[in-house]
Amino acid sequence: MRNMLSKIAATPNNIVTKKDILATEANLVDVGKSLKNKVNKLFNGSLAIRQVAAGSDNSCEQELVALGNSFYDVERFGIRFVASPRHADMLLVTGPVARNMASALKSAYDATPDPKIVVAVGDGAIDGGIWKGNYAVEDGVNAVIPVDYQIPGDPPEPIEILHALLNIMEDIELKSNKLRQDGK
Cis upstream peptide for 115 (omega within 30°): yes
User: Where in the chain are the domains?
Assistant: 48-183
Please name which of 113, 114, 170, 120 lies closest in space to residue 146, comparing C-alpha atoms. Answer: 120
Fill in the amino acid letter for 113. Answer: P
Specify the pTM.
0.83
Residue 152: the pLDDT is: 93
Residue-level pLDDT at 179: 79
Tell me, letter by letter, the H, E, C secondary structure of the chain.
CHHHHHHHHHCCCCCCCHHHHHHHHHHHHHHHHHHHHHHHHHHCCCEEEEEEECCCCCHHHHHHHHCCCCCCCHHHHCEEECCCHHHCCEEEEECCCEHHHHHHHHHHHHHCCCCCEEEEECHHHHHCHHHCCCCCECCCHHHCCCCCEEECCCCCCHHHHHHHHHHHHHHHHHHHHHHHHHHC
Q: What is the CATH number of domain 48-183?
A: 3.40.50.12280
pLDDT per position in the chain (184 positions), as tens?
677 667 666 666 555 555 555 556 678 888 899 999 999 999 998 999 999 999 988 999 999 999 999 889 999 999 999 999 999 999 999 999 999 999 999 999 999 999 999 999 999 999 988 888 889 999 899 999 999 999 999 899 999 999 999 999 999 999 888 878 886 5
Q: What is the pLDDT of residue 129?
A: 87
Q: Could you give phi then psi for residue 146, rounded to 5 degrees?
A: -70, 140
Residues 110 and 144 sit within 8 Å (Cβ to Cβ): no
